[in-house]
Amino acid sequence: MKSSSLMVAALLLAGLSGILYWSNHHPPEKDTAKSSAETPSKIFTFNEADVFKIKIKKKDADEIVLTKDASGKWEITAPRLLGADQEAASSLLSSLSSISADRTIEDQANNLNQYGLGGPVLEIDVTDKHNKIQKLLIGDDTPTGNAAYATRADDSRVFTIASYSKSNLNKGPNDLRDKRLLTIEPDRVGRVELSTKKEDIEFGRNKDQWQILKPRSLRADSTQVEDLIRKLTDTKMDLTGSDVDTRKTASVFGAGTPVAIAKVTADSGTQRLEVRKNKEDYYARASVLNGVFKVSSDLGQALTKSLDDFRNKKLFDFGFDDPSKIEVREASKTLILTRAGQDWWSDGKKMDSASVRLCVDRIRDLSASRFMDSGFGTFLMEITVTSKEGKRIEKVLLSKANNTYVAKRDNEPALYELDAKAIEEFQKSAGNVKAAVASAKQN
């Protein structure tokens, strides 16, 4: 019995020794293959700047072709000529450049149909300036649904790519087209004409400042004008509806109530946008596009602003520039402040900078509560501000009629009604301007 047990043990020991010897001389192929298969590898190798054409072919859909024009901008040349969204095109190219194979399923695939690659769901062709074409074929989703089978046209391997990579490449014309209704860059706009039922307004740019030209020459609130331009140039067509809805927009537009016609002019020319409202929705027709498109209510509301909404309500234009001189003249007293470097002086005395800054801030904050055509009453005071190294001098006269304060800028017909509290706070700050405290002499 004992010798029998020893025999079995010896045989087991010999078998284990043989397995150990074999394993030491034959590394596990499965682990090596797994390591290789799970190492992501880039699918495309190209310089993004060299790519000039991208084709997207999908089952049962027209082929989409993106091509760079002579200036280096992308445009859609198929299925029909359309302007391209430059950011969307660049994002697509970036997705192609960075896409990687997650796992290799077969090194030598003989039957592509089992992966949906015989008639691929999606084919992407990339052509560079040397006419080298690289093709990616994307087939069915994997059973787990978090990846898709793919192959290159010049490669016998079948691999998987992440589902999000497939989504990033699965684009249609509406995803890639330029959805802007006006294709002028906002910083190139030099003139805007706005025609509504109530009034016609025209704005003109003088360097970095906007001016109201019509119905008459008036100071414009540049922030308000630039906000209008931004809304006009940022307006994009709403393509989320069905094809039936898109076809109906023309008749809906025709039956709508006119809101405004905007003409935007840059050095490249003038573009026109007509906006109408039907029930609660806004629709627009642009001069550079065919068709009518639904647009956001933000644009419609921006176009309904009145002339006064675009007028500059501030009494002074010096803004955050540091004035070099302030003069306040009232019936019984005069305050003249002159700046030298960081110091303020009055009548040969150095003034307390904090009290002067408060006075300047109160002048800077003077703003109209509304505009008036008449009503300038008894003279109250005159404020003159010199800034821009003496190149800009602004003089404002203030009056009081009953409980109303009215101001007018020198050489301008416009009248500004002011809040009484703002005038009182300014008068208080001017009265509190004081001389600087002399520093104690050191022994």
- Which residues make Cβ contacts (< 8 Å) with residue 388, sequence separation at least 6? 318, 321
Asked if residue 317 belongs to a domain, the reply is: no
Q: Give the residue from 154, 176, 198 where a domain finishes.
A: 176
What the block records as the tokens of 434 is: 């004081």
Strand ranges across the sheet with 334-340 = 349-350, 343-346, 334-340, 325-330, 378-387, 392-401, 404-409, 415-418, 368-372
Q: Name every residue whose Cβ is closer than 8 Å to that of residue 298 and which is 6 or more positions away in sequence.
A: 231
Q: Are residues 165 and 201 in the same domain?
A: no
66: nearest Cα among 180, 75, 58: 75
Residue 4: the pLDDT is 52
Stated as kind and residue range, the H or E segment containing 205 is strand 200-206
Tokens representing 173? 């014309």
Instruction: Say which residues have a Cβ less than 8 Å from residue 329's Cβ, sequence separation at least 6.
Output: 335, 381, 382, 384
Instruction: Give Rg (Cα) of the chain.
Output: 37
**316 domain-assigned:** no
Residue 8 lies inside a defined structural domain of this protein: no
- The DSSP line for 102-164 is -EEEESS-S-GGGGT-SS-SEEEEEEETT--EEEEEEEEEPTTSSEEEEEETT---EEEEEHH
Contact assessment for residue 395 and residue 386, using Cβ atoms and an 8 Å cutoff:
no
Residue recorded with tokens 């602004």: 394
Residue holding tokens 């933000």? Answer: 298
C-alpha span between 191 and 203 (Å, rounded): 6
Expressed as residue numbers, the domain containing 301 is: 186-310
Is 223 in the same domain as 272? yes
Q: Over its length of 443 residues, how does the chain's per-residue pLDDT go in tens digits?
A: 444 554 544 445 455 454 443 344 333 333 333 434 455 588 988 999 999 999 999 988 999 999 999 999 999 999 999 999 999 999 999 999 999 999 999 999 999 999 999 999 999 999 999 999 999 999 999 999 899 999 999 999 999 999 999 999 999 999 999 999 999 999 999 999 999 999 999 999 988 899 999 999 999 999 999 999 999 999 998 877 655 576 788 899 999 999 999 999 999 999 999 999 999 999 999 999 888 999 999 999 999 999 999 999 999 999 888 999 999 999 889 999 999 999 999 999 999 999 999 999 999 999 999 999 898 988 999 999 999 999 999 999 999 988 889 999 998 989 999 999 999 999 999 999 999 997 644 44
Instruction: Indicate if 235 and 305 belong to the same structural domain.
Output: yes
Does residue 331 share a domain with residue 304?
no
Q: Which residue, 115, 149, 176, sits at the end of a domain?
A: 176
Q: How far apart are CA 134 and CA 44, in angstroms?
A: 7
The DSSP 8-state label assigned to residue 236 in this structure reads: B
Residue 257 lies in a domain: yes
Distance (Å) of CA 190 to CA 7, 87, 203, 230, 266? 102, 25, 8, 13, 5
Q: Could you say which of 120, 149, 176 is where a domain stops?
A: 176
pLDDT, one tens digit per residue, over 166-192 is 999 999 999 999 999 999 999 999 999
Q: What is the DSSP letter of 367?
A: B
The model's pTM is: 0.76
Does residue 421 sit within a domain? yes
Cα–Cα distance, 83 to 72 (Å, whole number): 13
Claim to verify: residue 161 and residue 102 sit in the same structural domain: yes
pLDDT at residue number 266: 96
- Please count the structural domains in the chain: 3
Tokens 């039922």 correspond to what residue? 197
- Does residue 21 lie in a domain region? no
d(CA 165, CA 401): 71
The encoded tokens of residue 93 equal 């190219």
Same structural domain for residues 381 and 290? no
Tokens, residue 247: 């076809």
Residue 339 located in a structural domain: yes
The structure tokens listed for 275 are 């906006």
Q: Which residues contact 316 (CB under 8 A, 6 or more apart)?
A: 363, 364, 366, 385, 394, 396
Question: 124 and 170 in one domain?
Answer: yes
Q: CA nearest 321: which of 394, 409, 406?
A: 394
Rounded Cα distance, 206 and 221, in Å: 13
Contact call for residues 140 and 116 (beta carbons, < 8 A): yes
Distance CA 87, CA 169 (A): 14
CA atoms within 13 A on the CB side of 337: 30
